[in-house]
A and B are shown apart, each in its own frame.
Chain A
Amino acid sequence: DTEVTQTPKHLVMGMTNKKSLKCEQHMGHRAMYWYKQKAKKPPELMFVYSYEKLSINESVPSRFSPECPNSSLLNLHLHALQPEDSALYLCASSTLTGGGPTSPFTGELFFGEGSRLTVL
């Protein structure tokens, strides 16, 4: 069983709806991520939170609004989406690895099962 839990697993919404995707982890990870994956494509990074603060926004449209209310939770609020936003949305978490540019690199991202979103 994955240690990153995403809800809902499936979501169908209209273009005028407001909905939210939720992600929870209890591994003590202080970095959390949202990825978007279109069919037959690799995941693409959307947002990164570290220490509950937004660290990366990969030029994501404002109709996607992330929120990290505490170190265990990550939300993605959806509003006025387009049909092309239909995709699998993956949440992930990881430790925050320290050290400088030449320090050993450790740790992996733990992914949830994803929320499959369909926008009508």
Chain B
Amino acid sequence: AQKITQTQPGMFVQEKEAVTLDCTYDTSDPSYGLFWYKQPSSGEMIFLIYQGSYDQQNATEGRYSLNFQKARKSANLVISASQLGDSAMYFCAMSSRGNTGFQKLVFGTGTRLLVSP
């Protein structure tokens, strides 16, 4: 069975500082995807960044980077130069592939990030 663990219920960071949100996972599948989603209070799940299990390079998307350490089964999200609009709930998720190619996402419990001026 797949499992995602986020051990930080809440994190605080000052504007313009960098912050790391932790995520560890467990799976026996050789092929999987790791995702980070942002959920503001409006409810929408906003895709931030993706890392495939066979990707050699760590994923980056603008101010977001994913620190993927396969041997340690960790996929931490790094947000550089935090902005007030980054205040939200952040979910780490792992995807396994279904028999017709759909993706079954399992989410961690989330980390609430608060960015202060």
Contact = CB atoms under 8 A, between A and B. Distances in A.
Question: Chain B contact residues (Cβ within 8 angstroms of A): what range?
Answer: 20 to 34
A103 B105 contact: no
B50 interface: yes
- Interface of B (DSSP majority class): loop
Contacts of B54: 102, 104-105
Interface of A: 2, 31, 33, 37, 41-45, 48, 50-51, 55-56, 88, 90, 92, 94-99, 101-114, 116
Given A43-B45, A105-B54, A106-B52, A50 B104 contact: no
A9 to B, nearest CB: 9
Contact of A111 (B44, B55, B100): B44
Q: Tell me the dominant secondary structure on chain A's binding face.
A: loop
B99 interface: yes
Nearest to A44: B107
